[in-house]
Homo-oligomer: A and B are copies of this chain.
Amino acid sequence: MSRPLEILICNDDGISALGLRSLVEAVRGLGRLTVVAPDSPQSGMGHAISVGKPLRLDPSDLHPGTRCWSCTGTPVDCVKLATGVLLDQKPDLLVSGINHGLNASISVFYSGTMSAAVEGAIEGIPSIGFSLDDFSANADFSAAIPYVRSIVIAALENGIPHQTALNVNIPRLPADQIKGIKITRQAGGRFQEEFEKRVDPYGRDYYWLTGHFALDDAGEDTDIWALRNGYLSVCPVEIDATAHHHTSFLNRWDFRQV
């Protein structure tokens, strides 16, 4: 006896994003596909959930060959509603993306795409987030799709370690210029914010968050190095956020008499 694999598909760019359509294409035929995606773009939502706000699910026919719902919540809400309300069994795999834009290095914290995958891992589901180095709405995912499929098949065959999600980032290159796949670590770096201050028509100040990524890591084993050198990056992401190596240092602290 066998049953088809149950594959849950999410994203953060919203249900109508081309990247989501490309991800559905990449996994088609591998199992029963369920799409639950935000009804509007949710980039930068990180691991936000909707506390104290009602959530709605509406059936959608945007992705033929799937069971598909749009959700009024965040990417993590989508995962929770899928597993808590819509699916009668735990998915065998969760895939999120394909994000329009990289989620390498420190972006893993801000990314709704990766937060959906991390939420899957928290819930014990093998989970992978995919991101392409192209922010544009009409980004070309054609070179990415076969790599996404290849990585999904390898993950199903080998099994993703418990309490771990995979963060896959794909360079913006034609297929014949992608050199291969590197297993990487999260590059050290951060966004250097530069806020643009403006004045609204009523004379009040407001700010736009801008900024650029500053790499602070010369390693040749990082996700950023791989991408800048023509490779796909596959980085395992840990659910246990404890900095275990600092425990003994902290145990030597003298907390004064309170």
Give me the interface of A with B, judged by CB distance under 8 Å: 41, 43-52, 54-57, 74, 76-77, 80-81, 83-85, 106, 108-110, 115, 118-119, 122-124, 146-147, 149-151, 153-155, 158, 161, 163-164, 166, 175, 180-181, 183, 185-186, 188, 190, 193-195, 197-198, 200, 204-209, 211, 234-244, 246-247, 249-258
**From A257, which residue of chain B is reached at the shortest CB distance?**
B150
Please state if A54 and B206 are interface contacts (CB–CB under 8 Å).
yes
Report which of B41, B46, B108, B241 forms a contact with A46, defined as CB distance below 8 A: B46
Residues in chain B near residue A45, CB distance under 8 A: 46, 48
The answer to whether A186 touches B242 (Cβ under 8 A) is yes
In the complex, the answer to whether A56 meets B206 with C-beta atoms within 8 Å is yes
In the assembled complex, the CB of A253 is this many whole angstroms from the nearest CB of chain B, namely: 5
Inter-chain CA distance A188–B43, complex, in Å, is 28
Q: Which 7 A-B pairs have the closest CB atoms?
A: A46-B47, A44-B51, A236-B243, A238-B243, A84-B193, A54-B206, A48-B48
Are B56 and A51 within 8 A (Cβ)? no
